[in-house]
């Protein structure tokens, strides 16, 4: 019989999360606020977060929604939506005031609430150069929207056509390739020291056979899409390798069940409740639990030039699947949202270390 495994790690961070707004924000924010120290908040609301004032107001709503059990050091890191409505001077002032952390580029039409996005990164060259000078990171949803490009190749095409020119022409700019789904994403990070990459629990643990082989799984549909087994294995190898360029970002993205189980499925996976358990089980299966702390707690803050945590959490893997985690949650208004990661949560628990 396997022994119970217990380990302590520095408090983890989530470098990519969608908290939505209003009733959904109130329902999902506590999961992130209870588990993570830093949470990099995505700005793709409707309307998008394009100014310091909007970011400050959204941050206040998040802190209110975080609830009484939130970590005392829970810190929403606010990003502005990089589009034609963003004012560079306001971005710089917001960053100087400690309100704005970074700017996020969405290709128009690539994913949920991306209609306000841009068509080319280099259209914003002046802003990107100002960001480089001020040390403000660029966060990128790296996915082509060209309908002639196969959906499984769109990350690689975007990286080749749009990210390489920016990285080569503005080498001082700190860049994050978010939610890496292919080896193309891994390679651009590995080849450029100013580029980091966030990796999600679902891209670490699922491939397109999970999505499609035994009936379409709408709960596993996200953007960029979960790719092939070979790509998943490469991503998991990078995450567990100890390479400091890769770090944890859940890309937790809740949608009402009615939008997930629909004729046109909404892109997004809600994984915040079991995000730590899923990645812990993956690292355990790969014999890499000694690298877990670096991936979830150190590499991200190091990439962004922040201080590491001084508090810890304890993770415990149980001998038998004795836990019965919920597989969905409901908002105050009764909207049901499916949760990713219940299988891992049957084996793992975690708690703050006093």
* Active-site amino acid positions: 251
Cβ neighbours, 10 Å, residue 257 = 15
Beta pairing, strands 38-41 & 14-17: parallel
Q: Which of 299, 290, 286 is nearest to 236 (CA)?
A: 286
Phi first, then psi, for residue 140 (nearest 5°) are: -125, 125
Bridge partners (DSSP) of residue 269 are 252
Q: Which of 292, 278, 317, 296 is nearest to 6 (CA)?
A: 317
Q: For CA atoms 103, 106, 108, 111, give the dihedral sign.
A: negative
Q: CB within 8 A of 195, min separation 6: which ones?
A: 167, 174, 175, 176, 177, 188, 189, 245
Beta pairing, strands 5-10 & 38-41: unpaired
Q: How many CA atoms lie within 13 A of 328 on its CB side?
A: 13
Q: How far apart are CA 241 and CA 209, in angstroms?
A: 25
Q: How far apart are CA 335 and CA 328, in angstroms?
A: 10
């Amino acid at each position: 019989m396997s022994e119970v495994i217990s380990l302590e790690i520095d408090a983890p961070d989530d470098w990519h999360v969608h908290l939505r707004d209003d009733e959904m924000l109130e329902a999902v924010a506590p999961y992130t606020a209870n588990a993570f120290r830093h949470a990099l908040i995505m700005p793709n609301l409707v309307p998008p977060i394009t100014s310091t004032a909007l970011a400050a107001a959204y941050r206040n709503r998040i802190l209110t929604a975080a609830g009484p059990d939130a970590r005392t050091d829970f810190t929403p890191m606010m990003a502005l939506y990089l589009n034609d409505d963003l004012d560079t001077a306001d971005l710089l002032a917001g960053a100087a005031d400690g309100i704005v952390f970074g700017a996020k580029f969405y290709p128009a039409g690539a994913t949920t609430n991306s209609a306000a996005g841009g068509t080319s990164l280099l259209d914003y060259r002046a802003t990107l150069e100002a960001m480089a000078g001020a040390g403000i990171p660029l966060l990128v949803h790296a996915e082509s929207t060209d309908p002639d490009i196969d959906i499984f190749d769109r990350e690689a095409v975007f990286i080749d056509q749009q990210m390489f020119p920016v990285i080569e022409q503005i080498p001082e700019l700190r860049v994050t390739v978010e939610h890496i789904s292919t080896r193309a994403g891994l390679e651009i990070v590995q080849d450029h020291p100013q580029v980091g990459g966030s990796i999600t629990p679902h891209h670490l643990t699922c491939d397109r056979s999970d999505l499609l082989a035994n009936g379409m799984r709408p709960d596993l549909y996200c953007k960029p899409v979960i790719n092939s087994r070979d790509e998943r294995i490469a991503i998991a190898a990078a995450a567990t390798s100890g390479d400091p360029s890769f770090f944890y970002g859940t890309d937790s993205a809740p949608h009402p069940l009615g939008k997930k189980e629909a004729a046109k499925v909404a892109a997004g996976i809600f994984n915040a409740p079991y995000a730590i358990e899923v990645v812990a089980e993956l690292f355990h299966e790969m014999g890499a639990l000694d690298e877990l702390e670096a991936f979830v707690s150190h590499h991200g803050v190091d990439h962004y030039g922040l201080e590491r945590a001084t508090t810890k959490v304890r993770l415990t893997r149980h001998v038998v699947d004795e836990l019965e985690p919920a597989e969905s949650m409901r908002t105050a208004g009764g909207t049901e949202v499916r949760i990713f990661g219940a299988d891992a949560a049957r084996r793992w628990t975690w708690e703050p270390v006093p």
